[in-house]
Amino acid sequence: MDILEGIKRRRSIHSFKEEQVSKEILEQIFTYGSYAPTHYMKEPWKIKVYQGDGRKKFVQSIMKSYQRIGMIKDDDHPKTLKTIDSLSSFLLAIPHHAVIYYEQPDDRIRNEEEYASICAFIQNSQLAAWQFGVGMLWTITPYMHDPQFAKEIGLENEKIKIAAVMQIGYPKKIPIDKGRTPIGEKMEFVEF
Ligand SMILES: Cc1cc2nc3c(=O)[nH]c(=O)nc-3n(C[C@H](O)[C@H](O)[C@H](O)COP(=O)(O)O)c2cc1C
């Protein structure tokens, strides 16, 4: 698929087949991702992929985080247990969860630069994945901002910031193209 067609055809994927994507393909996808522009060649992105049994502790930590931050009640009422059970099953059915993180610089501007280049890395990776028939969902969720969650999944360093969690796998269903606003409505040329 040509790169321009890939940009238009890629969709965020919400349901995945059980089959895992091989380590080789994931490495290739993120290698393409890493050709993103990066100020001072910092290449700030780091990736931890939770897959197979590695998803169990990851999903448990998400549930504990949701309880800590009040998104799920912190009790053992049957209704709470049912919520935890169904949310866990949903997350455990996703073959790979890739946590994209970086070490936050103290300087605010440098931090924006690092984050911007990580976003470029993520989009490059999503586009590369599409070429391999692999789907992704870029997620930003409340547990990403919970320092205890980061510690529990093995990101001990206090300076670490989780930029996104990518859900990855072969698409079960590809959503329809919602299209985009004509760019002319958002763009103007200033020539005087
Ligand atoms: C920074 C960012 C965060 C996102 N977070 C979520 C999310 O938490 N959950 C979700 O379902 N989609 C999330 N999305 C995906 C968007 O909903 C999706 O890109 C949008 O609906 C357009 O669909 P498309 O990617 O298929 O063109 C996120 C996208 C971006 C760029």
Nearest CA to ligand 1 atom 20: 12
- Structurally, how many domains does the chain consist of? 1
132/1 Cα distance (integer angstroms): 10
138 ligand 1 Cβ < 6 A? yes
Helix, strand, or coil (residue 103) = strand
Comparing CA positions, the residue from 155, 137, 135, 130 lying closest to residue 145 is 155
Ranges in the chain, pLDDT < 50: none
The domain of 26 spans: 3-185
61/148 Cα distance (integer angstroms): 9
Residue to probe by mutation, ligand 1, list 91, 139, 168, most atoms within 8 Å of CB: 139
Contact 137, 172 (CB under 8 A): no
8 ligand 1 Cβ < 6 A? no
CA of 10 to the centre of ligand 1 (A): 12
For residue 191, give both structure tokens.
Answer: 């020539």
Q: What is the pLDDT of residue 95?
A: 98
12 ligand 1 Cβ < 6 A? yes
CA of 12 to the centre of ligand 1 (A): 6
Q: For residue 24, what is the domain's CATH number? A: 3.40.109.10
Q: What is the pLDDT of residue 49?
A: 98
| Residue 192: inside a domain | no
Comparing CA positions, the residue from 138, 155, 137, 134 lying closest to residue 146 is 155
| Residue 166: inside a domain | yes
Query: In the 3-class helix/strand/coil scheme, how is 23-84 assigned residue by residue?
Result: HHHHHHHHHHHCCCCCHHHCCCCEEEEEECCHHHHHHHHHHHHHHHCCCCCCCCCHHHHHHH
141 ligand 1 Cβ < 6 A? yes
For residue 181, give both structure tokens.
Answer: 């606003």
Segment 7-36, tens digit of pLDDT: 999 999 999 999 999 999 999 999 999 999
7 ligand 1 Cβ < 6 A? no
